[in-house]
Amino acid sequence: MQNERPDPDRLLAEVKAQEAAAQRGHLRIYFGASAGVGKTYAMLAAARALRSQGRDVVVGVVETHGRKETEALVQGIEMLPLAERAYQGRTLREFDLDAAIKRRPALILVDELAHTNVEGSRHPKRWQDIEELLASGIDVFTTLNVQHLESLNDVVGGITGISVWETVPDTFFDNADEVMLVDIPADDLLARLAAGKVYVPEQIERAARNFFRKGNLMALRELALRRTADRVEDDVQAYRSDQAIERVWKTEASLLSCIGPQPGSDDLVRSAARLATQLGIEWTAVYVETPTLQRLPALERERILRTMKLAQELGAKTAILSGEDKAALVVEYARTHNCSKVVVGRAGRTRAWPWARGLAQRVAMLAPDVDLIEIGRGEAGTTDRPSAGAARAEPDDPRRDTKRLRYLWALVACAATTIVATALLPYFDLANIVMLFLLAVVLVALKFGRGPAVLAAFISVAAFDFFCVPPRLSFAVSDAQYLLTFAVMLAVALIIGQMTAGLRYQARVASYREERARSLYEFARDLSSLLETQQVVDTAASVIAQTFRADVAVLVPDDKERMVVRNEGGAGLPVDIGAAQWAYDRALPAGVGTDTLAGSAFLYLPLRAPMRTRGVLAIRPENSRVLLVPEQQRQLDTFAALAAIALERVHYVEIAQQALIQMESERLRNSLLSALSHDLRTPLAALVGLAESLAMTTPSPSGTQLETTQAIAEEARRMNALVNNLLDMARIQSGDVKLRRQWLPVEEVVGSALKSAQSALARHRVEVELGRDLPLVELDPTLIERVLYNILENAGKYTPDGTTIRLTAELSGDDLLVAVSDNGPGLPKGQEEAIFEKFVRGARESSTPGVGLGLAISRAIVDAHRGKIWAENNPAGGARFCFTLPLGTPPAAPSEEGAGQRAL
Amino acid sequence: MTPTSPVVLLVEDERQIRRFVRTAMEAEGWRVVEADTLKQGLIDAGTRKPDLVILDLGLPDGNGIEFIHGFRGWSSVPVIVLSARVDETDKIAALDAGADDYLTKPFGVGELLARVRATLRRQAPASTGSDGVFRFGDVEVDQANRVVRKAGAIAHLTPIEYRLLTLLIGNAGKVLTHRHLLREVWGPSFVESNHYVRIYVANLRQKLEADPAQPRHILTETGVGYRFQQ
């Protein structure tokens, strides 16, 4: 039965989400119908219970509103001091996010999820603070009233007549790990209110009296219960599919909502969000930007952008499409993105033409297979909340003056034409005079655009009638056929004027687009030829500064991933490095126009390249509205992406160059070392051989001569050992220890090391004790033999003859522990670590030969094996040298068919 | 030095090393032919019919391994390699190319002569007793009956252990690389499984050596392979 098996992809996604959630903090929201239901009280009570179980609970911010019971609950829990922020001459106390992250409690209580932070805080909203707390792995308890939920905001406004503007996105609420509903009946709440147990700020007392009416409270309670029930149902669904109790069939199709420029689009977005949530599908909000809409006043465009942002907060993907035909674009988008439902707002009552069709009808005609949902518009104005961006007073559009001037010019043109026409009247036919007026209209359209052309068309007809058509200087017409002339003239003038103006507009748009494309092309071309980070940074900064008429700083990370301003012009700008660091670390934009540090003068755009973020672009345009215009934003994003890719390319160019240099120097070093090794060893070999062959000459040398030759050979060998050590050290110093790791029994290395140290240990007793059944160890046999040899030789060198040297190997946790201990004089106190330094010997000024490189080399070798090496004194006396090697998973041992059966 | 004395070809570019090697070899009754380049060495190898070649790996006109490749094409006369490098790969390459033994510079005269003797001894028929039993220490390997005894008691060897042991004693004194042992005992597809040899050698030592941690017969040539010593 296919139904009983959960979809593996889905389960995988769920497992991944669970893993991510494990690192994230846990969020619990105490959710209530209105103020006064006891959310804070419930939250504190739960926190106290957890605290008594030993959880590290801290109060971030809690509003007790002076209530005794609540205050009593706070007693004894650690409270974070609030940060003080100056705002408009007053000092406001605000939750201290940085202190909370620094303190890192297991659980933090942050009251009033919907709170708006004082301007100048890192995030404008408290829920964003909490998001950051969760992201850094801290559990959070918080409280929320139903009217603060974004998607229910207008519903609550409709019920109570009071619309709140502090809202929390539904996605945040839905993503909370737990929602605890705190519920009391409306009568009880009213009783509490009467008893003064509910905090009501004095200045809104009258409004509050309207709010706290029984009808309102019951409605709010229903909303809260329903919303919680929705969430619980989601949980049940998730649980079901998780447990494969019943596979819930879910369509992959999603919902598409079209945002228009009209006020009331916010309602449309909220309705679409609710619908999508109920259907359990994803949704997308699109805005089609037609040339007409490009000419909208800035305030309206800002509203559209705000609506898009709202959609994002409500969990939508958003897209801005640009083109002429709205319906066709919407349908195409819906088709390519598998949106089976399209939500549109009902068209306004006013239509430009009686035959014009609304968007809904056109979409229906183009795509009969798509479900079309038409949403009634709320009353305009109620949803138009003030936003930080719009509240700022904007100076009058300077274009308005030039606009008036253009109409004036149109009038002047008509007047001039009339004068010329009147002058020519005696010589030309009236039909030809008409042409003169038409020419004037076309020229006006060409020069001054649509509106002046319309004006010119009417004025021209009137002037023609008044000055040229008999009876002259009167609007009366002697011959009725002139009426046709006027009608045709007006129609032709309007049509030609509109067409010309349209052409002019198209040409302007085209040239503007071309300019954008050209500047992008030039930017890309400039960047492609650069080979150094500094060049890329400077070019990007200057081009972007010029294109957007803005102050620009480009920040790139240093070795420690800290942001540093790198472009020449950017050094003097008041760039907030902290904000840039935030944007870089999270690869999210920050600053003006974003949710993070919106009060900043700069916008901080992360330069995201395919592999990773390469830096941050800080930009402060002369006109901050530039950053709100979608096409400008898109262009800025494109510039940033180009710069990021260029930085990444340059980064890899630098890496490749470094690698090349490193390879070259490595090659040089290797050939130098091997030449040195050959050149030093060959004369030593000759020295040893010649000295020894001297001993074999006939007649046999005398006793002293023999001793001399032996001494020469002996010293030459010592010299050779020294050369070996020095060359090895040189190799190791250059970081060039290449391990040839192999799996082998440790016994083998011990055996060969003992054999090579034979002469050094000739006058000592050697005991070997290897643990039984030691596993194979992966090591470089030659190098580990060197380590053991060095330690053994050391033991032989620094202990008196006849002492016992014990070599043991055993398992120690996940390591193999090899130890060499002796019962000699032991190490000088405090020298246990120093002897692993280069050129340090245990006993100073001793006549014992050796440069003290052996242990330093041993340490380097063991380090390269990711082991540890150390020396200590045995409690029972004598020194003990130990090293460990990590154990891995040895390869499968060889199997022998019939092993043991055919034993011989 | 008689015309019947055995001839050793010494290919080495260092005059002083040639000098003492010549002294030592002549004292042992060898006739020494010297060559200071690879090219000259190959010519002498063809014309002088040496009984032994002592070859330096680092020659001015090429790597000694090229000499071995050329020489092994038509001769099986033993080759002892002299190497000034500590790196094992050269030695392994030389051994795999067909060299019989190697010495790392600096080496003593005594070491050189011991290697020469060991190499020549291997040229003689296997030093198996007249009863077909090979003896080392207190171990007897009865190759006719495929029985191994240690101190008189039968040592139980698996077939592979036995094959490995006979290969080692058949090349007594010679360094056998891991690769060579793997190819001969396990087959050509196992030449990269170094740990196979190591485990089996450890087993053999456990069964046959008095102190497996300080073996006296099955010796480790670190990083290169094993050498059996009687």
Mean pLDDT taken over chain A: 80
Q: What is the pLDDT of residue B79?
A: 92
Tell me whether residues B219 and A687 touch, CB distance under 8 A. no
Output the pLDDT for position A358.
75
**The Cα angle at residue A716 between residues A714 and A719, in degrees rounded to 5:** 115
A486-495: per-residue pLDDT in tens? 888 888 888 8
For residue A841, give how far its alpha carbon lies from the nearest alpha carbon of chain B (Å).
Answer: 26
In angstroms, the CA A457 to CA A687 distance is 114
Judged against a pLDDT cut of 90, whether residue B34 lies above it is answered with yes
Kindly provide the ipTM of the predicted complex, given to two decimals.
Answer: 0.87
Does residue B54 surpass a pLDDT of 90? Answer: yes
**Which positions in chain B touch A732 (Cβ < 8 Å)?**
none
Q: What is the pLDDT of residues A27-47, one digit of tens each?
A: 999 998 888 888 888 898 888
User: Residues of B with CB below 8 A from A710's CB?
Assistant: none
A648-666 pLDDT per residue, tens: 999 898 889 888 988 888 7
Residues with Cβ within 8 Å of A744's Cβ and at least 6 positions away in sequence, in order, are A776, A777, A779, A781, B194, B195, B198
Confidence of residue A291 (pLDDT cuts 50, 70, 90): low
Q: Across chain B, what does the average pLDDT equal? A: 86
Contact A720 B106 (CB under 8 A): yes
- Residue A592 has a pLDDT of 81
Residue A390 has pLDDT above 50, yes or no: no
* Whole-number pLDDT of residue A715: 87
Other CB atoms closer than 10 Å to residue A428's CB: what's the count?
A: 13
> A 741-760 residues with CB below 8 A of B?
742-745, 747-752, 754-755
Residue B106 distance to chain A (closest CA, Å): 4
Residue-wise pLDDT for A325-374, tens only, equals: 788 888 888 887 778 888 888 766 555 555 566 778 888 888 888 888 88
pLDDT digits (tens, 9 = 90+) for A210-239: 777 888 888 888 888 888 887 777 777 666
User: Do B23 and A687 make contact, defined as CB atoms within 8 angstroms?
Assistant: no
A-chain residues within 8 Å CB-CB of B162?
A: 904
**What 3-state class would DSSP assign to A816?**
strand
Please tell me the distance from the alpha carbon of residue A138 to that of residue A813, in angstroms, as a whole number: 34
* Chain B nearest-CA residue for A690: B20
Average pLDDT on A712-721 reads 85
Q: Which range has the top average pLDDT, A571-575, A736-740, A834-838, B120-124?
A: A571-575
Residue A463 pLDDT greater than 80, yes or no: yes
Q: Percent of chain A having pLDDT more than 90?
A: 7
Q: What is the mean pLDDT of residues A807-822?
A: 90
Distance of CA B221 to the CA centre of its chain: 11
More confident residue, A437 or A392: A437
Q: Which residues contact A636 (CB under 8 A, 6 or more apart)?
A: A544, A548, A605, A619, A627
> Is B187 an interface residue toward A (CB < 8 Å)?
no
CB count in 10 Å sphere of residue A793: 19
Min Cα separation A817/chain B (Å):
16
pLDDT at A397 over 50: no
User: Is it the case that residue A260 has pLDDT exceeding 90?
Assistant: no
Bridge pairing between strands B31-35 and B7-11: parallel
A720 CB neighbours in chain B (<8 A) are 106
Is B159's pLDDT higher than 80?
yes
Considering only residues 113 to 142 of chain B, which have any Cβ-Cβ distance to chain A shorter than 8 Å? none
Q: Does B220 touch chain A (CB under 8 A)?
A: yes
More reliable by pLDDT, B207 or A88: B207
- Residue A556 pairs in a beta bridge with A564
**pLDDT bracket for residue A846 (50, 70, 90):** very low
pTM of the predicted protein model: 0.49
Residue B158 distance to chain A (closest CA, Å): 5
User: How far is the C-alpha of A162 from the C-alpha of A19, rounded, in Å?
Assistant: 42
What residues are paired with A608 via a beta bridge?
A613
Residue A699 contacts B where some CB pair is shorter than 8 Å: no
The predicted structure's pLDDT at residue A416: 92
Local structure of residue A4 (DSSP, 8 states): G
* Residues of chain A positioned with their CB less than 8 A from the CB of B200: 894
A449 and A406 Cβ atoms separated by less than 8 Å: yes
Q: Check if A201 contacts B (Cβ < 8 Å).
A: no
**pLDDT at residue A19 in the model:** 65
- Any CB–CB contact under 8 A between A685 and chain B? yes
Contact A768 B156 (CB under 8 A): no
Kindly determine whether residue B213 and residue A750, on different chains, have CB atoms separated by under 8 Å. yes
Which band of pLDDT confidence, cut at 50, 70 and 90, is reported for residue A389? Answer: very low
Nearest CA in chain B to A686: B17
Q: Do B23 and A696 touch (CB under 8 A)?
A: yes
